[in-house]
Structure 1
Amino acid sequence: MARIVVVGAGVGGLATAARLAATGHQVTVFERADTVGGKLGRYVHDTPAGSFHFDTGPSLLTLPELFHDLFEATGAKLDEYLDLAPLDPIVRHVFPAGGPALDSCADPVEFAARIGAAFGDRAAADWQRLWRRAARVWHASARDILRRTVDSPRDLASLAWRVGDLAAIAPGRTLRGLGRRHLSDPRLRMLLDRYATYTGADPRRAPAALVAVPYAELTFGGWYLRGGLGTLADALLTRCLDLGVVVRTGATVTRIDAAGGRVHGVRLAGVTGPVPADVVVANVDALTVYRDLLPHARRLAGLADRSLAGFVLLLGVSGSTGLAHHNVFFPRDYDAEFDAVFGDPGRGVRARPAADPTVFVTVADDPMARPAGHEAWFVLVNAARQGTAAGAVDWRRPGLADAYADRILAVLAERGVDVRDRLLFREVRTPADLDAATGAPGGSIYGTAGGLLRPANRGPAHGLWLVGGSSHPGGGLPMVTLSAQIVADEIGPAW
């Protein structure tokens, strides 16, 4: 039996702790916040009309079989803890210049039919051809990458890729390039580009292999958890406690002790002396690990390319607007948005708030989320991270957040959804707020920008492991859950 310390009680940390405790290890989790869940945040706003409940992080669950596997591995059933509701549409896409919206769904034949009805037979045939390629990429990734450690480019190069897999993955091609090669309709290209933002990346630079992301979502479905996605954190915490895991909130780890090339424990703020451990699992951003907890210049050097962040409005809306659960309102010029969000430091172009951004609106049809006759809106736009460098924006600048919130509401009005005279309240969350609340450097949602190679799960000291969205295999609830499985399997059972 090993003494294991998990740093951070996000989904990756809790999932790893539960798996390790179920195999006989002694596990303690230290979380600096007062609540668990990490980026799977929640917020409640009380009004005379009643309480509004918001998920302030992920709003969609995909690949539910991974969560079934997680709970079964810890001796429980997912359905005993969570109430999964399938979504159709998964996302409603609203394009510029009017025209029909496109509702995505988990039936590939039905989705192709919807594309054909909205955009014509050629567009549907294009999408089906792309889908066959996406399937090859997904199966190759699931088989060779997503369930095993990938510590270096050499590991990727050494995989026994099939010729057809390599042709589909198209090393060196971008997601934007893949869309232009396969999709003649600009609206479908725009839809495909959006999936680069799932990994915090610019589609003009993101690898074509990210076509596996829409394949997973639109093949295995999108799900909502009744009561909100935050109930997943509650369920994982319950599993951990039932398995004997010690979970300490309000406990900040300031350093990982690793003299002689192996971990010995951690140091806590305000506590004299070390907390001994045979193994340390870090569920914090890799940048934080290698900059602050265990300084490591070589590992830190590869973490400068940060993912995009998000600017969020939490709105209490009176009446019903008839929106889907997830809605995407695209801009006229998608490239202008990416130019603004990422900037171009090489040409001296600073990042800035996008004037005409894509706007994501989540409206859960859940009586537990809002009072009767009202809606709780989670509004998200892509944003540059917090900071003063050329690729960042100082969101703490007085007046900026409120002015940009006004701009986003005006953009929604221009796109046919004006709720400014129906607001009971609005709350603003900037990348600076995410940084402060979760320790995500600069408020970057996914750590480093998307790609096939993320910071390795295996740390530079024996007994150090990394889990979570900033490490392999990447961001999003399913990938974070897979990172926990990879690490738990590598550590192995106590017996």
Structure 2
Amino acid sequence: MARIAVIGAGMGAMAAAARLAVAGHTVAVYERAETYGGAVGRFERDGFAFDTGPGLLHLPAVYRDLFVKTGREPLERCVELTQVDPASRHLFPDGTALALPNASRAGTVTALDAALGAGAGERWSGFLGRARDAWDRSRRPLLEEPLPADVSPYARDPYPAPRTGLLRRSARTLAEVGRRELGDARLAALLEWYALAYGFHPGTAPASAAVLPYLEQTFGTWYVAGGLRALADAVYERCRERRVEFSFGTAVTEVVERDGRAVGVALADGRVVDADHVVAGAPLPALYRERVVGRGDQDGWPRFQQGVPTGRVTVCLALRGAREEGAAHRTVVHSADREGESAALAEGRLAARPTVTVLRPDDARLRPDAEHEAVTVTATVPAAEGLWGGGAGGSAVEGFVEAVVGAAEAAVPGLRERLLWRRVRTPADTLRETGSCRVPGPALAGAGGSLLPAANPAPLPGLYFAGGWSHPGGGLAHAGMSGALVAGLIVEGAGFRGSR
């Protein structure tokens, strides 16, 4: 069987490693950091613990499939999964509060009518029907199959125009969908939040981004007990059980090429490890910047995902006092100035009044005792390195963090009085850890194909890309799919056409 060298121990890389090991290959993972999980990180202090990457799981079937295919224990025996209900609570500037149920189309219609007025649920349901059409047209080629050499068909947007009324022309952007089809500024804000949550600018994201709310509202929102880091722990342990070898604190400096093919990796300590295949699971910007695998945009190497570059500011809040009964796990506090926030994001500025997402898991493992609470607040921000190069310092950044915390007060009663301390993470931290300020989004059709990530097979034979910067793109579920695609390509060869 083949020898596989894997660069990085992120979720996509580990998903590929476990599958390849089960197929009988010898797999060794080289990670420059001292731990695994990539963006699925953890910050701990004084008995508090916070996820520093994603806090909720969508499409858990991806990881169920991984665990079924790689071992005797299914996912639910390795981690505790619970559906989050309500899936999200939304607070709008006019005082409207909306709680959306988890994975219930009828329940969502009822909730929207009750909160926003009669007819709101019907308009949203009609939109979701069109989003389902876009999902059905793009799901398999964009999630379950390797990208073909000719990606021109994916340049066309699969989101259809409404079949009735005067709106017979398809919308070009997600923001236009909201304006033309939803008939309520609060519904439009709800729609745009889904784009922001995945790192897309609503004003430039194609209408096909409608699949993002469809995905969540159809397949549900899930929480992993102990936080999403517990899922990374479980995937790592599954790799270890399948005899995948890990070397932490071990940087790869070069993919070794011989006769036009990848034949191993060179390590920072001077060693050269031979391999029949190399899987690059580390973020592509870091690999390109350090010239580990080649230079992007040259000699046929893939471009990075285009569009407005965004990252995330995350504020970890350690609070005294118990979480009140009935508090929502996830609350979105919508901006009082959507147009200003949109313009700031497009222009690479920090918004004065950002939209924020507040996570308040009722999880004893994340707090020192029942009289304390761990809260995480996130906002989508421009990812320009010049803005974040100085870390969390600087008056503009400090002012923005204060605005983020101020917005979160609407979701957390008595937040300021309860605050013990806070920890701020900006795109500067993402740059230091991954080599890019940007957080990649999932692959989307439309936009002329500019939102397609790198194909899994690299231009150099024997080298493959896995993880959020490669097909099918960013996000926890998409990273797991990427690992499955890479494993399939190596095990079955160029004829692999995806899972059936």
> Normalising by the residue count of structure 1, what TM-score does the alignment of the two structures yield?
0.89
What whole-Å deviation, never above 9, does each CA across 1:224-270 have from its counterpart, x for those lacking one? 0111110111111111111110011111111112243210111111x
What is residue 473 of structure 2 aligned with on the other side?
Answer: 474
1:115/1:124 contact within 8 Å kept: yes
> For residues 356 and 158 of structure 1, what CA distance do their matches in structure 2 show?
35
Segments of structure 1 that go 5 or more residues without pairing to the other structure are 344-350
Match of 2:431 among 413, 427, 435: 435
What is residue 282 of structure 1 aligned with on the other side?
Answer: 280
Alignment of 1:148-163 (within 5 A): 148-152=145-149, 154-157=150-153
**What SS does the aligned partner of 1:5 have?**
strand
Shift of the 340–259 alpha-carbon distance from structure 1 to 2, 3 Å rule, reads farther
Which range is displaced more, 428-437 or 294-303?
294-303
Which range is displaced more, 478-487 or 255-264?
255-264
What whole-Å deviation, never above 9, does each CA across 1:369-412 have from its counterpart, x for those lacking one? 11212210111111222512xxx444437444444333322333
**What SS does the aligned partner of 1:469 have?**
coil
Shift of the 402–177 alpha-carbon distance from structure 1 to 2, 3 Å rule, reads closer
What is residue 200 of structure 1 aligned with on the other side?
Answer: 199
2:305/2:453 contact within 8 Å kept: no
What is residue 311 of structure 1 aligned with on the other side?
Answer: 313
Tell me how far 1:57 sits from its aligned partner.
Answer: 0.7
Shift of the 228–164 alpha-carbon distance from structure 1 to 2, 3 Å rule, reads closer
Alignment of 1:333-412 (within 5 A): 333-343=337-347, 351-370=348-367, 371-388=369-386, 392-396=387-391, 398-400=393-395, 401-412=397-408
1:199/1:474 contact within 8 Å kept: no
> For residues 225 and 205 of structure 2, what CA distance do their matches in structure 1 show?
33
> For residues 59 and 33 of structure 1, what CA distance do their matches in structure 2 show?
21
> For residues 128 and 10 of structure 1, what CA distance do their matches in structure 2 show?
37
What whole-Å deviation, never above 9, does each CA across 1:156-194 have from its counterpart, x for those lacking one? 5289x9x987668x9872111222222011111111111
1:16 aligns to 2:16 (yes or no)? yes
Amino acid at match of 1:372: A
**What SS does the aligned partner of 2:45 have?**
strand
2:442/2:474 contact within 8 Å kept: no
Alignment of 1:173-252 (within 5 A): 173-252=172-251
Shift of the 96–313 alpha-carbon distance from structure 1 to 2, 3 Å rule, reads same
Amino acid at match of 1:61: L
2:199/2:440 contact within 8 Å kept: yes
What is residue 346 of structure 1 aligned with on the other side?
Answer: none
**What is the percentage of aligned positions where both structures have the same residue?**
37
Which range is displaced more, 15-24 or 179-188?
179-188
> For residues 149 and 97 of structure 1, what CA distance do their matches in structure 2 show?
45
> For residues 171 and 389 of structure 2, what CA distance do their matches in structure 1 show?
33
2:11/2:38 contact within 8 Å kept: yes
1:325/1:365 contact within 8 Å kept: yes
2:10/2:281 contact within 8 Å kept: yes
**What SS does the aligned partner of 1:206 have?**
coil
What is residue 445 of structure 1 aligned with on the other side?
Answer: 439
Shift of the 165–352 alpha-carbon distance from structure 1 to 2, 3 Å rule, reads closer
Shift of the 165–191 alpha-carbon distance from structure 1 to 2, 3 Å rule, reads closer
1:323 aligns to 2:327 (yes or no)? yes
What is residue 84 of structure 1 aligned with on the other side?
Answer: 81
Which range is displaced more, 399-408 or 247-256?
399-408
> Normalising by the residue count of structure 2, what TM-score does the alignment of the two structures yield?
0.88
1:150/1:453 contact within 8 Å kept: no
What is residue 59 of structure 1 aligned with on the other side?
Answer: 55
1:116 aligns to 2:120 (yes or no)? no
For these two proteins, the number of residue pairs brought into alignment is 473
> For residues 245 and 300 of structure 1, what CA distance do their matches in structure 2 show?
29
Tell me how far 1:415 sits from its aligned partner.
Answer: 7.5
1:24/1:493 contact within 8 Å kept: no
What whole-Å deviation, never above 9, does each CA across 1:343-367 have from its counterpart, x for those lacking one? 1xxxxxxx22221101111111011
Tell me how far 1:414 sits from its aligned partner.
Answer: 6.8
Amino acid at match of 2:84: L
2:8/2:32 contact within 8 Å kept: yes
Amino acid at match of 1:183: L
1:308/1:383 contact within 8 Å kept: yes
> For residues 308 and 251 of structure 2, what CA distance do their matches in structure 1 show?
24
1:315/1:426 contact within 8 Å kept: yes
Segments of structure 2 that go 5 or more residues without pairing to the other structure are 163-168, 446-450, 494-500
